[in-house]
């Protein structure tokens, strides 16, 4: 009998990836055979990094984890999950404020495709207040963010803001 591959996707903007994202992905990847970051186009959010740059930063930052892959998508997350044979979507939950939006999304995704499960994880408390906007603001204003992002991401941010 063929082995069933249990795959989960981790969708988001990841502009750029930081240690909170990596914390969630690392722990979720241990529970599944494969985890795929799916980088949303999200041009309406006017990201600092292009889709390709965001994907490359994720690949570089997670290459030590064998069962993590990266792809890009546009459209409905549940469709992407189905097309890539994933059985679940993982999202991070930091504060109660995240819950409201995530709850709505999970309900809608359940309506769109009840076969795709929505799972949530809280990060290590060191990362509970971390988000990509804060990361960018600190670097833009000359602060040191190295405790919260991989080295490659720190370099990419410094290079963006020195242009």
Query: For binding to ligand ADP (CB under 6 A), which residues are involved?
Result: 12-14, 20-21, 24, 91-92, 94, 98, 123, 127, 130-132
Q: Alpha helices, DSSP H only, in the chain?
A: 19-31, 51-61, 77-83, 96-112, 132-140, 151-162
Q: Does residue 112 have a cis bond before it (omega within 30 degrees)?
A: no
Nearest distance from residue 100's CB to ligand ADP, in Å? 12
Collapsed DSSP state (helix, strand, coil) of residue 39: strand
Question: Active site includes 34?
Answer: no
Of the pair 97, 162, the CB lying nearest ligand ADP is at 97
Of the pair 13, 56, the CB lying nearest ligand ADP is at 13
Tell me the torsion sign for CA atoms 110, 45, 122, 160. Answer: positive
Dig out the tokens for 68 from the structure.
């993590």
Kindly name the residue from 55, 61, 118, 132 that is annotated as catalytic: 132
Cα 49 to Cα 99: distance, rounded to the nearest angstrom: 26
Cα 81 to Cα 94: distance, rounded to the nearest angstrom: 23
Of the pair 4, 97, the CB lying nearest ligand ADP is at 97
Helix axes 51-61, 151-162, angle to 10 degrees: 150
Nearest distance from residue 1's CB to ligand ADP, in Å? 34
Of the pair 112, 121, the CB lying nearest ligand ADP is at 121
Tell me the residue nearest to ligand ADP as measured from the CB.
Answer: 92
Half-sphere exposure at residue 100, Cβ-oriented, CA atoms within 13 angstroms: 2
Nearest distance from residue 3's CB to ligand ADP, in Å? 29
Question: Active site includes 94?
Answer: yes
Nearest distance from residue 71's CB to ligand ADP, in Å? 14
Question: Active site includes 21?
Answer: yes
Kindly name the residue from 30, 45, 129, 155 that is annotated as catalytic: 45
Question: Active site includes 64?
Answer: no
Catalogue the active-site residues.
21, 45, 94, 132
């Amino acid at each position: 009998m063929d082995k069933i591959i249990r795959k989960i996707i981790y969708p988001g903007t990841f502009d750029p990836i930081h240690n909170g994202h990596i914390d969630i992905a690392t722990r979720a990847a241990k529970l599944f055979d494969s985890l795929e970051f799916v980088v949303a186009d999200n041009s309406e959010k006017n990201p600092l990094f292009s889709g390709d740059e965001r994907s490359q930063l994720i690949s570089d930052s997670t290459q030590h984890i064998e069962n993590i892959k990266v792809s890009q998508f546009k459209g409905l997350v549940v469709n992407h999950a189905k097309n890539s044979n994933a059985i679940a979507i993982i999202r991070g939950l930091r504060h109660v404020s995240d819950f409201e939006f995530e709850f709505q999304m999970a309900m809608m995704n359940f309506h769109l495709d009840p076969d795709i499960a929505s799972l949530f994880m809280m990060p290590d408390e060191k990362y509970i207040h971390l988000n990509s906007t804060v990361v960018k603001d600190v670097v833009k204003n000359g602060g040191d963010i190295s405790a919260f992002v991989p080295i490659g991401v720190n370099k990419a941010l410094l290079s963006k803001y020195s242009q």
